[in-house]
């Protein structure tokens, strides 16, 4: 069986040092032995041949996603590939409905940066294996919809409601994992985030 190919695509924005997280993820995934890992900080790779990769990890804010890039990402997953979206990948213009439908929802607002408790919603799932409820200092994202046909694995409570923090869903023949954690260094250094990234990638590639 050929080795899995993983592409991490990361861009910083004015609020999120996501390229720092991407550098950390590259090391975590290489150490895990899951496959061949490539890191890019050039968004033009979306318009290239994504299909040479089995898993795409997006750590970027796609608010200005072009129609061509939207189609490329949605087709990549629908055709049977895997996508992991980190934190601000749900920050996107509302007219990008194909992308929003694929990723499962659109960011509307978030809490202040604070410590909160993340609860394990499905302790039997491999993505969260070995984790207990934990505290993390992060932004708590609120989406515009309940992700359709999704299995929610992590939650947190804010605005008098239980908010999905990590969920998985099928799209076409492929799979999507969205992890809302990952605003900045306080979250990046939390050992539970590392475990979620590595175990999430392993599950997506299984």
pLDDT category, 1, cuts 50, 70, 90?
A: very low
Q: Each residue of 110-145: pLDDT tens digit?
A: 999 999 999 999 999 999 999 999 999 999 999 999
- Can you point out the beta strands (E) in 25-130? 36-40, 55-59, 82-86, 107-110, 114-120
Q: How many domains does the chain have?
A: 1
| Residue 2: pLDDT over 80 | no
pLDDT for 49: 86
Q: Report yes or no: 106 and 141 within 8 Å, Cβ to Cβ.
A: no
C-alpha span between 200 and 90 (Å, rounded): 18
Task: For residue 35, give its domain range.
Answer: 5-205
Structure tokens at 165: 């923090």
Name, in order, each residue with C-beta under 8 angstroms of 203's C-beta and a sequence gap of 6 or more.
125, 126, 127, 168, 177
Q: Report yes or no: 76 and 104 within 8 Å, Cβ to Cβ.
A: no
Q: Each residue of 23-67: pLDDT tens digit?
A: 999 999 999 999 999 999 999 999 998 999 999 999 999 998 999
Q: Report yes or no: 127 and 203 within 8 Å, Cβ to Cβ.
A: yes
Name, in order, each residue with C-beta under 8 angstroms of 25's C-beta and a sequence gap of 6 or more.
8, 57, 59, 197
Structure tokens at 184: 């900045």
pLDDT for 40: 98
Query: Average pLDDT, stretch 99-104?
Result: 98
Give 21 or 2, the one with higher predicted confidence.
21
56 by DSSP, 3-state: which?
strand
CATH of the domain at 182: 3.40.50.880
Q: Each residue of 146-185: pLDDT tens digit?
A: 999 999 999 999 999 999 999 999 999 999 999 999 999 9
pLDDT for 173: 98
């Amino acid at each position: 069986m050929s080795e899995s190919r993983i592409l991490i695509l990361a861009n910083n924005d004015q609020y999120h040092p996501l390229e720092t997280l991407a550098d950390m993820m590259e090391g975590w995934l290489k150490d895990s032995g899951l496959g061949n890992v490539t890191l890019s900080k050039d968004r033009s790779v979306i318009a290239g041949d994504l299909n040479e990769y089995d898993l795409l990890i997006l750590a970027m804010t796609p608010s200005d996603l072009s129609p061509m890039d939207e189609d490329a990402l949605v087709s990549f997953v629908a055709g049977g590939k895997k996508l992991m979206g980190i934190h601000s990948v749900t920050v996107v213009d509302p007219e990008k409905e194909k992308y929003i439908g694929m990723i499962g929802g659109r960011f509307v607002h978030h809490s202040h940066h604070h410590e909160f408790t993340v609860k394990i919603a499905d302790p039997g799932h491999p993505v969260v294996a070995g984790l207990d409820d934990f505290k993390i200092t992060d932004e708590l994202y609120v989406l515009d919809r309940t992700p359709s046909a999704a299995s929610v694995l992590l939650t947190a409570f804010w605005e008098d409601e239980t908010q999905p923090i990590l969920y998985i869903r099928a799209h076409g023949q492929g799979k999507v994992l969205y992890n809302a954690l990952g605003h900045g260094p306080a979250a990046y250094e939390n050992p539970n985030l590392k475990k979620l990234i590595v175990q999430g990638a392993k599950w997506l590639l299984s």
